[in-house]
Amino acid sequence: MIKYIIPFFLILSVASCDIEDLSNPNGSSIAGFDKDATKSSLQTLVTGIEDLLRQDVGFYYDVVSIVGREYYFFTGSDPRYTGEVLGKGQSQLDNAGFYGTRPFSGRYRTVKTANVLIDGATNSSLITPADLNGYLGYAKTMQAYELHLVANLQFENGIRLDVSDPQNLSDFVSYQESLAGIQSLLDEGASNLGAAGGSFPFSLSGAMTDFSDPSSFLGFNRGISARIALYQGNKSDALSKLSSSFMDMGGDLNVGPARFYSSAGGDFNNNLFRTPDQADAIIVHPSLIADATAGDARLSKVLLRQSGTLTLDGLSGDYDVFVYKSLTDFVPFIRNEELILINAEANIGGNNGAAIAAINVIRNAAGIGDYSGGMDDASLINEVLYQRRYSLLGEAHRWVDMRRLGKLGDLPIDREGDDVWVQFPRPVTEN
């Protein structure tokens, strides 16, 4: 009898004592923003977004610059930068390759966190309507910015626009629909910013100093919108967006909102900066040196290697990329220089005189004198492209520019069998 009674008691004694449902000791939970989030907790999301904007963004800059034949990435640690990304031999881009998946997932992660901010602000009764518009204007602008980077990589594969519910993601839409969706998100953000009052209810990093209130931030929003209007081939729209952007024909070309980098503990170093003369190096594509105009001040963005030519995998070059000079240089989202170049390009065909004036702003800043080439549209387009190539070196434009103007075939091929990819494959996880 005992035999049966004892286990019975033991089972009873265990069944009656429960295990505590421990919360995760390692961090806070997403549910904390469900209801009545305070300004200080929403601030952590804004700061989180500022962090995500720079996470994995190095992959984006690298692959766009490599495919656009602006630079090579020579590293003994990974053969793919000189292999698949350049289409070496028979190799194809891999839909699971980190060079395509990491910039894709990294950008959508910002979008997700911005959605948490949007929901948190919307569901909070502790903030004013103007504050709410400030959060929404910031979040939507940054979402649109991140989505357009994805669209640049995915091109005709298209992107998903509404990803607020992980269980119910919207379908992929075409490239043109993607751009239209991004524009309407920017427009929503712009109208939120217009209703956000004189200041944001949150603080931004030192890389956003000139864009830290709703009105100046709107200038950033409109600048991105002008860039996308150009992608859409809508020059008049681009010009009208520029008029409310932070474009300043007489101003510092380098002004622009940026990602923050710092060596302080817990903060992030600028990983696009590379110490010159290393064996692991970002090497300028030789064509860029060959095509340069003598005396172009923008060649300060490249540096002749003291240790001589670097060769890897059948490729070689003599110059390190030197766009960023230290681990703490900020990386701009968009600069005045680009806005002026957008102005130049958008005026071609409509007002070539204005286009040349804008081109000359750029040329004179570079110390190469006024434009003296052909006045026809085609010549001017080539001139703008040339100026963009040097003005925006290493800022991930060349490939996108050549593609939208149908000139990918003009990019140089270094090794027999190399390919210039039109777009990156849709990541395997999306299928």
Partner 1 sequence: MKRLLRQMALSVLIVSVFSVIGFSQYTVTGLVTDQSGEPLIGVSVLVQGTTTGTITEIDGTYTIDVLSDPANLEFNYLGYATSTLEVSSDSNLANLSMTESASRLDEVVITGLATTVKRSNLANAVARVNAQDLVGIASQSTLEGALYGKFKGAEIKANSGAPGGGVAFKLRGVTSINGSSQPLIILDGVYIDNSSIPGGLNLVSAAGAGGSTSNQDNPSNRLADIDPNDIESVEILKGASAAAIYGSRAAGGVVILTTKRGKSGKTRISFGQSVGKTSQLRKLGVRQWTEEKVLGSNFADDIDNFRAGQIHNYEDELYGSGGSLFNTRLSVSGGDDKTKFFIGGSYKNEEGIVSKTGYKKTSVRINLDHKISDLFTATLSSNYISSSADRGFFNNDNSGNTIGISFTSTPSWAQLQPNDAGVYPSNPYAPSNFLETAALITNNESVGRFIGGGSITGKILQTDKSSLKAVFRGGIDFYNLSTSAIFPNSLQFQRDGAGLNGASVQGFTKNLNSNLALFLVHNQYLDNGMSFTTSAGVTQEDFNQNTILGEATDLIGSQTNLDQAGSRNVTQNRRIQQDKGFFAQEEVNYKDMIVATVGFRGDKSSNNGDVKKLFFYPKANVAINLQNFNFWNSASPITQFKVRAAYGESGNFARFGSKFTTLNSTIVDGRAGVFTPSLLGNITVGPERQKELEVGIDLEINRRFSFDATYYIKSVEDLLLEARVPTSSGFSSQVTNAASLQNKGIELGLELGLVSSQDFNWNARIGFWKNTSEVTDLAVPAFTTGGFADFLGNHLIKEGFSPTTLIGVGPNPTIALNEGDTPSLQEFGNAEADFQMSWANNISYNNFDLSFIWHWKKGGSNINLSTLLFDLNNTTHDFDDITLDPEGVLGNGAYRLSLLGSNTEPYIEDSGYIRLREIGLYYTLPSSLIPGGGTFKIGFSGTNLINIFDYNSYDPEVSNFGANGLSNAVEVTPFPSSKRFDFHIKADF
Q: Please list every residue from 232 through 291 that binds partner 1, using CB under 8 A.
A: 260, 262-269, 275, 278-280
At residue 119, the 3 state secondary structure works out as helix
Q: Rounded to an integer, what distance in angstroms lies between the CA atom of residue 219 and that of residue 336?
A: 11
Q: Are 245 and 282 in contact (CB under 8 A)?
A: no
- 109 is a site residue for partner 1 (CB under 8 A): yes
Among residues 105 and 221, whose Cβ is nearest to partner 1? 105
- 7 is a site residue for partner 1 (CB under 8 A): yes
Q: Rounded to an integer, what distance in angstroms lies between the CA atom of residue 405 and that of residue 91?
A: 26
Query: Would you state the torsion angle of the CA atoms of residues 37, 42, 48, 49, taken in this order, to the nearest 10 degrees?
Result: 110
- Tell me the site size for partner 1, rule CB under 8 A: 93
Q: Which of 2, 290, 294, 378 binds partner 1 (CB under 8 A)?
A: 2
Q: Which of 116, 323, 339, 380 binds partner 1 (CB under 8 A)?
A: 116
Q: Rounded to an integer, what distance in angstroms lies between the CA atom of residue 95 and that of residue 223?
A: 32
- 18 is a site residue for partner 1 (CB under 8 A): yes
The footprint of partner 1 on residues 44-73 (CB under 8 A) is 44-52
Pick the piece of the chain touching partner 1 (CB under 8 A) from 21-29, 182-190, 368-376, 389-397: 21-29
Q: Which of 34, 35, 36, 79 binds partner 1 (CB under 8 A)?
A: 79
DSSP state of 22: P
Q: Rounded to an integer, what distance in angstroms lies between the CA atom of residue 138 and that of residue 214?
A: 8
Pick the piece of the chain touching partner 1 (CB under 8 A) from 121-129, 296-304, 307-315, 366-374: 307-315
- 306 is a site residue for partner 1 (CB under 8 A): no
The footprint of partner 1 on residues 26-45 (CB under 8 A) is 26-30, 43-45
The footprint of partner 1 on residues 197-216 (CB under 8 A) is 203, 205-207
Q: How many CA atoms lie within 13 A of 334 on its CB side?
A: 28
Q: Rounded to an integer, what distance in angstroms lies between the CA atom of residue 394 and that of residue 401?
A: 13
Least distance CB 219 / partner 1 (angstroms)? 21
Give the CA distances from residue 120 to residues 32, 115, 346, in Å, rounded to whole numbers and listed in that order: 9, 8, 39
Q: Which of 34, 65, 141, 160 binds partner 1 (CB under 8 A)?
A: 160
Q: Rounded to an integer, what distance in angstroms lies between the CA atom of residue 3 and that of residue 154?
A: 69
